[in-house]
Amino acid sequence: MKTLIVGGVRSGKSRYAEQLATSHEGPINVIVTATAGDEEMAARIAAHRARRPSHWRVREEPTALGQALLEVARPDSVVIVDCLTLWLTNIMMQSDHDLLERESDALLAAVQSAPGLVILVSNDVGSGIIPVNDLARRFADVTGSLHQRLARACDRVVWMMAGLPLTVKPPSGASNA
């Protein structure tokens, strides 16, 4: 089962992903993409670390996400990837202009072939106003395109709003209730 969880900032995406993970048996792996570039981000990272159980395996991977996913996924495991928008930021800040396409393709292929339960967490950045500058518009476009590709590849897509999960793509055979 592959699940994409999308929502706004502080919508409850990570907590919901953690709840899904703990409802399944087997080892839980978390691949985190955030880097602590300032004090506020360091505090966010610390809060996430403090919330996770100590027996969860955590891997930090800011760019090579597809490879990391394939390395940790097992048929009996759960992998949470948190978060795709920070990962996109990390990639877009690199000087290698082909890196985005290569790593996006690698992630999509990894999601499609990874065994076990995979839970992807990402921010929706396209529901607001059109950004003023070119980089922000490109980021919103890239994020939207990635979400569409992943939504097609995932079994389930959940939209988080105000801490409430709304299933927008239920698994085959399941109702949307």
Query: Which residues have a catalytic role annotated?
Result: 48
In whole angstroms, what is the distance from residue 41 CA to residue 34 CA?
A: 8
b/e 118-144 (16+ beta carbons within 10 angstroms → b): bbbbbbbbeeeeeeeeeeeeebbebbe
Asked if 89 and 97 touch (Cβ cutoff 8 Å), the reply is no
Q: What is the largest CA-CA distance in the chain?
A: 46
